[in-house]
Amino acid sequence: MMGIAALWISLLLIGGGVALDRVLSDAITRNFDDGMNYVLTAMIAAAEIGPEGEVLFNRELADQRFLEPNSGLYYQVSAKGHEDWRSRSLWDRALKVPEEHRDRHLHVYDSKQFPGEDLRIMERTVVLPGSDSRWLFMVGQARSGLDAQIKTLRATLFQSFAMLALGLFVLATLQTFYGLRPLRKVRQEIVRMRDGQKSRLTEPMPAEVLPMVEELNALLAHNERQAEEARTHAGNLAHALKTPLTVIMNAATAQSPDLGEAVIREATTMRRQVDHHLARARAVGRRGAAQSRAEVWASLTAVERAVQRLYPHTRVDMDGDREAAVRVERQDLDEMLGNLIENAAKYGGGSVFATVKRAGDMVEILVEDDGMGIPLEERVRIFDRGVRLDSGKPGTGLGLAIVRDVAEIYGGSVLLEESEDLGGLLARLRLPAA
């Protein structure tokens, strides 16, 4: 930032300095030329033809430098066939008469015809009354005074612009230093959090940095929640596996005759627990993805085809909003809908109806069946892991528990109600709309 500011300031000041130098140098040069033009005009106004055809001044020029040899201010009047009339300041020198200027326009140019003395020359060709000759009036002045003024001007401009550039550089440096100071404070706060001194960024911050600090604090809170959920899941899994392992160890220690059956039974229990916690872990890991989005109708269609192959005698009908989408990973949505529709097909009477509708900022998916339903007092307990009301049909008792846990991870919910149309169970799954 400071390098870019220094480069930009330098370019602007150089460009401005060059432009200002040209303007002021031209103004000084015009003022210098105006003084010469005044003298040239006075010479022409005072000129007249003498008795022998020479040029005379009817009054003396006011500037005394014309009388001092090598004073730096000179004049000369020339014409073809006539002797040059020169100022005394030229002494034994003469101004060169240009061959290319034969018009009556005013001409101004620089000349180096005198060694060690650069001249600024102004000339004009006129025809005087009483003479047929074209007289060339010339005024020459040393450029030393003009060059000294321009040099003083440029030195002043350079010093002023150098001081201005230094001041702007210092200002840009201070602005950058103090402007980025809140970021250094954020870094220091993060160092303190890494050292365990604090858990959040609590220092007051400017309005420009505050949104970043708020997002950082939200990210820290999100990570803490995920870490806590991971610890909880690990603890639950360890607790769930502890009892089956104890049963297996006791049976093995006692050399129980039904050891094989006990191992199979308890291993099946452990596998159910592992599957359940893996499903939760996958959902938690995918929950933070900003691009989580799933089309409900596409997921329902895929689940319906799978359920029809498992239960060919069950009819699954669907209706509702075909454009609805939820902020859930497609795999998790398939798993939740698969559990609900499979349960409806397994325990129903052969008819399943799924409805999709919007409810504010949520999407509701209703899965109904024509089975026996679930008593009101059992609708809460059925969500517990391993609980099965009908043990005569195959299953693990984890389907509804997985649906509830995954839905809650995404900010949704699942409720069990009585179906008014089919008379069986109605599962109401609510998920955030995308």
pLDDT digits (tens, 9 = 90+) for 119-165: 999 999 998 888 888 889 999 999 999 999 999 999 999 999 999 99
* Non-local CB neighbours of 209 within 8 Å, separated by 6+ positions: 182, 183, 186
Q: Model pTM?
A: 0.49
The first and second tokens of residue 6, run together, are 């220094």
- CA end-to-end span of the chain, whole Å? 40
Residues 252 and 332: their CA atoms lie apart, in Å, by 39
* pLDDT for 393: 44
The mean per-residue pLDDT over the stretch 350-379 comes to 88
pLDDT digits (tens, 9 = 90+) for 102-125: 677 889 999 998 998 999 999 999
Check pLDDT > 70 for residue 290: no
Check pLDDT > 50 for residue 62: yes
- Average pLDDT of the chain is 84
The mean per-residue pLDDT over the stretch 315-344 comes to 90
Q: What is the DSSP string of 251-264?
A: HHHTT-TTHHHHHH
- Higher confidence at residue 196 or residue 325? 325
The strand pair at 351-359 and 315-320 is best described as parallel
Q: Where are the alpha helices (DSSP H) in 254-378?
A: 259-287, 296-310, 330-347
